[in-house]
Structure 1
């Protein structure tokens, strides 16, 4: 099925099951410990051996020698895999770093060996006996120091640089100007489940149980790396304990499990330790961002420019921090530029809302700073510069852009009118209290997605697709889609996910997963409805599927009866036409935050948070709310505490565990409220939905920063906003 014209009325619009806050299908399995995750999944694999990864102790250079003698003779050791004995390995298309290093070393904790033993403890003990001599080389580990060497780098979905009108001239002529620089640090995904895999060989066929968001991508990567046909590789990933983009790609655990299993002649499982996760896998790269805005005295933006710098390994991608600025606000004269420098730190890659999340941490502070210069309310300034068209391509209108509605509803719910615009004026005992807001914005990409549906003689529909559930509720919304389409209750739907033996889906990433994968299920169900109607002698366009029955005219037949003894199988793929090119499709929202800052110690406490989101039809308000409050929490972490501290001499992340890398805990997060606008977007998909999981993080950091400024009068442009950055200036207002 191809989606190339706006959606009209279809069975999803019945909203009998879609749009309802159904409980998570996977919830009981996870809460009872019966959900099989990669490291513990066995499926007739008895007694797998355990692998332990040895990571490089230097960040750049080469291995001079590696002595495995003591490790090989250690108790329980079955095999040791290194680059010397792994055979020829190709480099995949999606990773910038080599997954098994040697002799050249590209970054700290790059995997250089896998020790396989009978037990985890034996593998770990033997790994300590591996002796490696290195020849160190000088590396680059400080973004600020190499910033000027950055080269133009294309970002996902666009060029490195854009220009409309005469930015330099308009900015110079603007009566009111802002020119400010903001920085965001490196961030870790810090998901609960580690990167983990178990591999087994059956002749020349490889099966890998792994924790991975994009099954088909990763099958291709593994096959290419190992130099084997793609159809000889099977990946299974039914449950994932968090990903946030860090599991979009094959990492060292999957490759080394496969190599270890081949070397040991039996199944092998590998889980990365927490420090190895931080330095061996991917992270969100640090950014330096310069934003310039020029406006008339009545608040109309005449010039807006955003330059972003980030660093990565050679061949890596930049952090697309300028992305939102290209689309969010009006302004006739515009400029964006993206520069990428070479850094010898671990690979920088996708992390929840790549581009927009760190970009809006800067942009939405700058918008507030400009509003203050103009003497305007921050919301009023944003409304003045709203646009219903792509400001870089005015001929392309937004499919739906209710940003003003989000801000208005949020302002009313949050009592924005009671906010004192003068910073440092409101106290609650020892606390300085402030309120801030920021716009939320994230594009709405869609991806080709397929599914297979089977109707059996019990009236049960089984859905199969290689789509993954990373804790987002995918099992449930796919079941809701099939139930709505086939006129069945949820308990008559069985969903099977995360297996490369199933039809190729969109996968979980980029905020495209829910909308795209349910559209694929929709397409398969349309085919199943047609097959059922044909078998029963009904006109498929007139048949009504409801309450387990198929009705047409005065006839009503149980759906199960249509299946017969052999059942009916249908499969289809949803492909998206060029509506995304004709119309700018994005999601919008507004974040509101109240903070308290201790007048004596500068301790910061978030007191309340609100997100108002416009993301098309909300398929399941319960799971969608869960996604948004999780994203808000992540945004609070980025604003106030999260920072991978770089050792700029040795080139590694020092705080590489959950003791040193701080993330929000329950005590850090107060009541959170989420409101979804009641809307649909027929330009997006037959579901008329959009993504929401990444929208919820975009703008949160800036809303907190703006609230802190309103509380204290101290403007911090260097994230995270920790008390030391406030303390020196706090006595002025305290």
Structure 2
């Protein structure tokens, strides 16, 4: 037992939450039983392949489909010239709620405009995938080409201020920046740049669409948000939401790219409606470069000024990033700078530059990943300028409350992260001068560190819990498991709330016919859906207790709810543990088919009273060949304050995955467009480099494990994205310590160190 209580005030058994329980869906995945979006065997299934543009700007003058129409197995070639008109043109405006990731402007063959290379401009539908691919290659396209905007530096003079940056102000200002800089003894002022990057989840984007008549649509989609897909498709096709169903039981990674509805989803539905048959549409790896988002290129100007004791007196973070010519996305790189350190004077700004590429989108820790690279590198540079230990500089400017809003933190254990991480890493062995340390094999050895942070987000969510006559429970919520372990942690939360062992709880997700939950993005699933699952479990448990109390035949008759606890499915008197009955006995005697409650959990006044963030400290040991300048990582230690750990195994896996993502961002990842055509030249995993096993060192993850019960009832904050933040800067800082060369233009490649 612990101090967690149910709605009636009775202690909850927490035998499951926090334990390193194996994934409940693991066997399905390793045996091939888990069905992904492209694996549903529908009868009479046709296949669709997208035809994409080969220019970056202009109009389609002509599309010759005669050869494709005559090819074997071809059912239909759809183009902007013959595609059915939709009730709502998704290229004209948002298809979802304002401010949501579903308000993308999409290309669904409703006009002949071309705004970026690799844009959908047609659809080949055939009996087999191979026939559809062949037909798509036969379509001849003539363009009225125009000169595209492809160079961010060249177009920087046309930058504009967006209305907001991820629902926060685009610009902020506090204090007197000039006075703060004047009062400083040292300052650094540098520019840091990051390239375009692509998500590249293992599972490509895919949609299988089937219509029941003309007014009921079901899609099996690889998505991070089934309800977002439902909302957008109902808007585009002019259907009630209840007539659109989206199913997504398993997702093979998303990292943000599957958080929005993209053009291929309504295209699959349009194809199925046109030919009156189910249609499967899967993107190729090459097609995923452009039409389903990417991390935008950024240019960030950082200024930090401090007194000789390290106290920051002024800071400025000005950021430029790209967006498309027809839509808008802001990479909020200055968000972390606003809250990380005390600074009496600060200015931050975001500017956008319109270019002829597809619309960027959220990519694992959007804003914070790119932004912490810049600010945490600048902090390292300031530490060297002051001849001060990097940890001591951060502690000198430790923010006891949110510097921007002045709100107290709901919970913050960053000091402990620095201490635990430094001790585990043996930071004290570091000698401060660059190139002062060597490995036994003669390679240059560098030690670097950085702070990690990510907002704690929570949205309204619903869940249903049902006790069955056999004493087991069925719990459901329409959320998504994008590989993070959602099936497992929700089973653990439900089990503890109901007072059942997890093996007697079945949790289901991934369907809009289940209770509504938010998108699995922004590291909010555990906090949002988990709180709803706990509430539904407690409410169902309390209903069973109330039924027992009111039943003269029950051993619990006449007691109060606070007198009763539940463990292993047995309701019992706290003072007499042998006096009670099981859920199954109660349901059988009452002749009930089930005991069921649907509940909702949502943020309250706490969101206006507290600042809510997760924090961490990342330490990296890098080895650099003194002649070839090849960088190898030898060790990474991360210590994290992310609230209560719901499952020690899946949480650790998520943070290891985030670190690996950071290694890719720091040392390898870069999407390379042809500067003449806007065509991505490294559109596959042979040329778009991501880390493999040989690139990854020992990764040691430590948890502070301090529950944040102000933030939500389960005390947990998300761990999916904080793992990448701080890693890139820590690697860069370690490389500088090893070599004395500061790389401010990602990725850090050997040519930049020679």
Q: Which TM class, normalised by the smaller chain length?
A: over 0.9
- 1:444 maps onto 2:456 in alignment: yes
In 2: Cα distance, 1:507 partner to 1:481 partner = 19
1:173 Cα shift? Answer: 3.8
CA 1:349 to 1:561, structure 2 compared with 1: closer, same or farther past 3 Å?
same
Task: Label 1:594 to 1:157 Cα distance change in 2 as closer, same or farther (>3 A).
Answer: same
* 1:287 to 1:7, Cα distance in 2 relative to 1, 3 A: farther
Counterpart of 2:58 (choices 40, 61, 68) is: 61
Partner residue in 2 for 1:233: 244
- Shift, 1:40, TM fit: 0.7
**1:263-274 pair list within 5 angstroms:** 263-274=274-285
* Closer/same/farther in 2, CA of residues 9 and 684 from structure 1, 3 Å limit: farther
Partner in structure 2 of residue 731 of structure 1 = none
Q: Distance in 1 between matches of 2:25 and 2:447?
A: 38
Which is worse superposed, 167-176 or 468-477? Answer: 167-176
- Using the TM superposition, give the Cα deviation of residue 48 of structure 1 relative to its aligned residue in structure 2, in angstroms: 1.0
Partner of 2:189: 179
* Among 300, 308, 330, the residue aligned to 1:297: 308
CA shift digits 1:90-143 (9 cap, x unpaired): 222435442324300121111111111110000101111111111111221122
Q: Distance in 1 between matches of 2:183 and 2:571?
A: 69
How big is the shift at 1:148?
Answer: 2.8
Structure 2 contact 621–635 (Cα < 8 Å) conserved: yes
Which residue matches 1:192?
Answer: 202
TM-score (norm 1): 0.96
**5+ residue gaps in structure 1?**
1-5, 728-734
Q: How far apart, CA to CA, are the structure 2 residues paired with 1:514 and 1:698?
A: 19
Which residue does 1:376 correspond to in 2? Answer: 388
Aligned residue for 2:154, secondary structure, equals helix
1:167 maps to which of 161, 177, 188: 177
317, 322, 326: which one aligns with 2:334: 322
Structure 2 counterpart of 1:403, from 404, 414, 426:
414
Is residue 172 of structure 2 the alignment partner of residue 158 of structure 1? no
Residues of 1 paired with 2:733 and 2:469: CA distance? 59
Deviation string for 1:232-289 (max 9, x for gaps)? 1000000000000100112233212111111121111010000001122100101000
| 2:154 is equivalent to residue 145 of structure 1 | yes
> Structure 2 residue aligned with 1:546, among 536, 543, 567?
567
The alignment status of 1:131 with 2:140, answered yes or no, reads yes
Counterpart-to-counterpart distance in 1, 2:69 and 2:452: 55
Aligned with 1:689: secondary structure?
A: coil
Matched residue SS, 1:633: helix
Change (3 A) 1:12 1:214: farther
> Where does residue 728 of structure 2 map in the other structure?
701
Q: Does 1:40 align with 2:39?
A: yes
- Contact 1:442–1:588 (CA<8 Å) still a contact in 2? yes
Which stretch shows the higher mean deviation, 123-132 or 533-542? 533-542
Do the aligned partners of residues 541 and 259 (structure 1) sit closer, same or farther apart at CA in structure 2, a change above 3 Å counting? farther
Which deviates further from its counterpart, 187-196 or 104-113? 104-113
Indicate conservation of the 8 Å contact 1:595/1:608, yes or no. Answer: yes
Q: How does 1:199-218 map to 2 (within 5 A)?
A: 199-203=209-213, 204-218=215-229
The answer for the alignment partner of 1:505 in structure 2 is 517
- Tell me how far 1:678 sits from its aligned partner: 2.6
Aligned partner (choices 686, 689, 694) of residue 713 of structure 2: 686
Determine which of 641, 647, 651 is the counterpart of 1:614.
641
Partner of 1:52: 49
Distance 2:225 2:430 in 1: 45
CA distance in 2, matches of 1:610, 1:505: 34
Whole-Å Cα distance in 1 between the matches of residues 126 and 457 of structure 2? 44
**Which residue in 2 is equivalent to 1:337?**
349
Instruction: Tell me how far 1:13 sits from its aligned partner.
Output: 6.1
Q: Per the alignment, in what secondary structure is the counterpart of residue 697 of structure 1?
A: coil
* CA–CA distance in structure 2, aligned partners of residues 226 and 82 of structure 1: 18
Relative to structure 1, the CA distance from residue 659 to residue 131 in structure 2 (aligned partners, 3 Å threshold; closer, same or farther) is same
**Cα distance in 1, alignment partners of residues 673 and 352 from structure 2:** 18
Measured in 2, the distance between the counterparts of 1:145 and 1:167 equals: 29
Give the secondary structure class of the aligned counterpart of 2:201: coil
Counterpart residue number, 1:732:
none
Q: Could you tell me which of 559, 566, 571 is aligned with 2:583? A: 559
Deviations 1:687-706 (A, max 9, x none): 01111111111010000000
**What is the DSSP-based 3-state SS (H/G/I as helix, E as strand, rest coil) of the residue aligned with 1:647?**
coil
Q: Deviations over 1:501-560 (max 9, x none)?
A: 001012311011111111010111122112211221253343311011111365311112
CA distance in 2 between partners of 1:456 and 1:507 (Å): 29
Aligned partners of 2:193 and 2:744 also within 8 Å: yes
**Residues 1:306 and 2:317 are matched in the alignment:** yes
The one of 74, 85, 95 equivalent to 1:87 is 85
3-state SS of the aligned residue for 1:596? strand
Counterpart contact for 2:418–2:639, Cα < 8 Å? yes
8 Å contact from structure 1 (residues 399, 583) kept in 2: yes
Judge conservation of contact 1:63–1:133 (CA < 8 Å) in 2: yes
- Number of the residue aligned with 1:280: 291
CA distance change for structure 1 residues 117 and 692 in 2, over 3 Å: closer, same or farther?
Answer: same
Structure 1 contact 443–585 (Cα < 8 Å) conserved: yes
Kindly report which structure 2 residues correspond to 1:437-516, keeping only aligned pairs within 5 A, or say none: 437-516=449-528
Q: What's the CA shift for 1:10? A: 6.9
What is the distance in 2 between the residues matched to 1:291 and 1:8? 49
Contact 2:6 2:12 in 1 (8 A): no
Q: 1:432 to 1:542 in 2, by over 3 A?
A: same
- Determine the structure 1 residue equivalent to 2:547: 535
Report the equivalent of 1:517: 529
Gaps of 5+ in 2: 97-101, 550-555
Structure 1 pair 563–65 and aligned structure 2 pair: CA distance change class (3 A): farther
Return the offset for 1:7.
Answer: 11
Listed as ranges, the matches of 1:87-126 within 5 Å are: 87-88=85-86, 89-91=88-90, 92-93=95-96, 94-101=102-109, 102-126=111-135
Match of 2:661 among 626, 634, 637: 634
TM-score of the superposition, structure 2-length normalised? Answer: 0.93
Could you list the per-position Cα deviations for residues 551-582 of structure 1 after superposition, in whole angstroms to 9, with x for gaps in the alignment?
13653111122334411121011011121221
Name the counterpart of 1:432.
Answer: 444
Q: Residue deviations 1:280-313, cap 9 Å, x none?
A: 2100101000000111111100001111100101
1:153-210 CA-to-partner distances (Å, cap 9, x unmatched) read 2111311110001113322442211111000111110100000010100012000001
Q: How many Å separate the matches in 2 of 1:117 and 1:540?
A: 63
1:658 lines up with 2:658 in the alignment: no
Is the partner of 2:458 in helix, strand or coil? Answer: coil
**CA distance, structure 2, for counterparts of residue 9 and residue 372 of structure 1:** 57
CA distance in 2 between counterparts of 1:653 and 1:9 reads 59
Aligned length: 720
Task: Describe the shift of the 1:676–1:248 C-alpha distance in structure 2 as closer, same or farther (beyond 3 A).
Answer: same
Pair 1:254–1:590, CA change in 2 (3 A): same
Q: What do the CA deviations read for 1:306-330 (whole angstroms, capped 9, x no partner)?
A: 1110010133121100000010000
Inter-partner Cα distance in structure 2 for 1:83 and 1:668: 46
Assess if the C-alpha contact under 8 Å between 2:10 and 2:565 holds in 1: no
Q: Does 1:649 find its partner at 2:646?
A: no
Q: Is the 8 A contact 1:7 1:682 kept in 2?
A: no
2:78 & 2:54 partners in 1: Cα distance? 17
Report the Cα offset of residue 606 of structure 1: 0.6
1:338 alignment partner, SS class: strand
CA distance, structure 2, for counterparts of residue 613 and residue 53 of structure 1: 43
* 1:356–1:441 CA contact under 8 A, matched in 2: yes
